[in-house]
Amino acid sequence: MHVTRILAIRHGETAWNRDARIQGQIDIPLNDTGHWQAERTAAALADEPIDALYSSDLSRARQTAEALARQRGLTVQMHPGLRERHFGAFQGRTWADLEQEHPDVVHAWKKRVPDFAPPGGESLLALRARVEATFAELAARHPGQAIAVVSHGGVLDILYRAAARVDLQAPRAWAMGNAAIHRLLWTADSGFALLSWGDTRHLEEADEAGPRDEQAAA
């Protein structure tokens, strides 16, 4: 049985992460902390085998992946299937604003109603279908190899649920920090399996030259 090893990485911090503003598929770049996190992530993975590097085509993911590409001499292969969930009319808004203006809609969102979608946006069911198909497609290209994949919080939440066999509506009880590293396996017969999740040790080590506010990256 040919196993594909997956290093799944969330993009570094953006200004909108810090403001708790919904990014979705709006193309927001990394802030200074995010660039620092990307470089730290690349250094942390310098000795790990990586045969191919994939990324969402949104800037915050691409910039994070480019730090790893420079470290390893790899080419970043962009895939739109790795984009964040499309939040439709919610994109660009803060949760505080939405709770005041549309409490019923936010209630459905927080309850993780599977077929609920923001106006013009994507439901959890649609997101799950896209994410599982994309990761399986990429993993199937590299049997017996290791790939690194840089994506987004909502995407990686779905990946965790697939690997840990957690229901789509179950409350999230696992970390989704910016620039965290997650390790999984994939086979055509068994699908995804979880090795480790939420590794942020590379962001916790002392580095006086870099920004030091991981709380804002949660």
Active site (catalytic) residues: 11, 84
Q: How far apart are the first and last CA of the chain?
A: 37
Q: Distance of CA 9 to CAs 53, 87, 88, 178, Å?
A: 11, 21, 24, 8
How far is it, in rounded angstroms, from Cα 5 to Cα 193?
10
